[in-house]
Amino acid sequence: MNKLKGKIVVITGASSGIGRSIGILGKVADQSIEEIESVTSTNYFGMIYCTKAFLTSMLRKKSGHIINVASLAASFGLPGLAAYCGSKFAMLGFSESLQHELHGTGVSVTVVSPIGVKTNFFHHQSFGNRFKSKERFYLNPHTVSGAIIKASTSNRLEIVVPFFMRGGVWLKHTIPYLVNPIVGASFRKIVEGKG
């Protein structure tokens, strides 16, 4: 941890218990504008407000690390979670653009993108018990916290947790015509209460 001495580290968007990330399950046609705005405001604009609050100080000190906790949903559009996925896609795009802007300033940006985490994220009434059978795949918040700590000294743009899911992201970007129908079908079953 000596590498962090005197360095400002800002962590945003953490659904791992450090902050609050929200999602509301439902089809876009069935959601209100207010529900979609709520998800976007919390997950995306909350990250921007936090970044802006600390960025000037970091630039002045020529030191700092912004860690934005997104989700694997930053790489996969999932039926029933369009607003959530859109907010996480936006976080990843914003972070990548910001990383380019900050080149050579001493300030870094890293995105931590975990799969589902054992938090109260799925406790929103819209989820019901639809994801109950998937809980065994959720990450322990301590695993994500460990990745966040590692990210604080990393030069990488994105750290996917667990690491092997990076292969899924690679496949999605390499052969989307095969991966997208599989992901879409499996999540549609969940949204429709059949999965």
Active site residues: 84
- In the structure encoding, which two tokens stand for residue 134, read together? 């998937």
DSSP string, the chain: -GGGTT--EEEES-TTTTS------S-GGGS-HHHHHHHHIIIIIHHHHHHHHHHHHHHHHT-EEEEEE--GGGT---TT-HHHHHHHHHHHHHHHHHHHHTTTTTEEEEEEEES-BSSGGGGSGGGTTTTGGGGGGPBPHHHHHHHHHHHTT---SEEEESGGGHHHHHHHHH-HHHHHHHHHHHHHHHHTT--
Contacts of 100 (CB under 8 A, 6+ apart): none
CA distances (Å), origin 179, targets 35, 45, 173? 29, 30, 9
